[in-house]
Chains A and B, each alone.
Chain A
Amino acid sequence: AVRQPRKKQHKRTNSFPHANRLPGSFDDVHPSEGKHVCRRQELYVSFQDLGWLNWVIAPQGYSAFYCQGDCAFPLDSCMNATNHAILQSLVHLMKPDTVPKACCAPTKLSATSVLYYDSNNNVILKKHRNMVVKTCGC
């Protein structure tokens, strides 16, 4: 792992053992009244740790952001939600066995680029659209 886990990291009993996990670390999860609210998390993949930096010129690693947490609508009004998510939450409250909760999902994505050598010493810059999660919502 390249980034030091933060203070609360050790409290996560279900994280990967250090030696066997992919290079990277999880962001903190801020529990709200015992629940994990929907927010953006980060799994940093270090190209240096993977030994790819002799042919990947940039970046040095990849922040694989993802969305995780609960969508608790309409009770938690501070969260970003679509009308559909609010409706689905209400229907879920009425029929919890048949209708699932609203999803915590990316609401805004951006591109990322990788610069690397090919086997002929040509340099390639590749742009990947919609690869990086910018914001999460319900």
Chain B
Amino acid sequence: VASCPQQHSPRRLSGREKREMQREILALLGLPGRSAPAGARHSPPPSAAPLFMLDLYRAMASQDEDDGTSWAPQRRRALDGADTVMSFVNVVELDRDIFYQKPYWKEFRFDLTQIPTGESVTAAEFRIYKMQSVTRHINQTLHVSIYEIVQDHPNRESELLLLDLQDFLAGTEGWLAFDVAAASNHWLLNRKYNLALRLYVETDAGQSIDPGLAGLLGRHGPRSKQPFVVTFFRASQSPARLPR
């Protein structure tokens, strides 16, 4: 017969006990430490990713009450199966624009050193904001493709792996989301593959277009419209809790 835990009377906590209790709350909630990261305190990060993550948080928090109709089924599935969702701000951006030879492209790099261990990727999206193209007819179809850079070579073209390809009208305006789960899996399994994502834009006729002229915003765009990657992780096992 299982016995009930003893009902202890509440008592005054010492300062040390209080700090231990706070540390334990942090550990239970999976929070890394008490002090704020320097970047978060002094220079505000690009706000596109936090805003998107706040939307995800609200969706997750209201999961019991909400029927989820406002979310795409794919996003809903990813959210339901995820224990951790991380957004990665674009830290380095390279352009091969109209000042270079074709094909034109845009390259995005992310700091993935803090990817959690012991978790598997269930979904990952690269999100980039598209303004209406000013140089194209609004009804012209543009093919936007995302590649993972598998290997960089100094004197020849990098090895690329196609991740996703989508078609948009030149007049489209809003967030575009590309499936980059395969790249996230590679990055999770082996950090040396953490190179970059490369984006190309082409017309129906196969003509390369400068992504900037196609209306795709990079890290020099408004803070609320900067590109980022969001990755959904699922814990492979329950975290072990050490006794206090």
Contacts and interface: CB of A to CB of B under 8 A. Distances in A.
B111 A120 contact: yes
A15 B85 CA distance: 38
B3 to A, nearest CB: 4
Interface in A93-138: 99-104, 110-129, 131
A115 B1 contact: no
Contacts of B88: 122
Chain B interface size band reads 35 or more
B67 interface: no
Interface in B130-185: none
Interface string A63-77: 000001000000000
B114 A119 contact: yes
A73 to B, nearest CB: 13
A56 interface: yes
B87 A123 contact: yes
Nearest to B12: A20
A103 to B, nearest CB: 4
A86 to B, nearest CB: 14
Contacts of A115: 53-54, 57
Interface in B58-92: 60-61, 63-64, 82-89
Interface string B24-56: 010011111010111111000100011001101
A61 B136 CA distance: 50
A118 B32 contact: yes
A22 B113 CA distance: 34
Interface residues of A, number: 48
Contacts of A59: 61
B191 to A, nearest CB: 14
Nearest to A115: B57
Contacts of A111: 60, 63
A122 B89 contact: yes
Given A17-B12, A114-B30, A57 B50 contact: yes
Contacts of A14: 9-11
Interface string A40-56: 00000100001110111
B13 to A, nearest CB: 6
Nearest to B22: A50
A2 interface: no
A55 B36 contact: yes
A68 to B, nearest CB: 7
A22 B14 CA distance: 10
A88 interface: yes
Nearest to B52: A123
B18 interface: yes
A59 B114 CA distance: 22
B240 interface: no
A59 B50 CA distance: 14
A48 B111 CA distance: 29
20 contacts: A16-B10, A17-B12, A22-B13, A57-B57, A58-B54, A59-B61, A101-B4, A103-B5, A110-B64, A113-B61, A115-B54, A117-B36, A119-B37, A120-B111, A124-B84, A124-B87, A125-B56, A125-B86, A127-B84, A128-B30
Interface of A: 14-17, 20-22, 45, 50-52, 54-59, 62, 68, 88, 91, 99-104, 110-129, 131
Interface of B: 1-5, 7, 9-13, 18, 21-22, 25, 28-32, 34, 36-41, 45, 49-50, 53-54, 56-57, 60-61, 63-64, 82-89, 111, 113-114
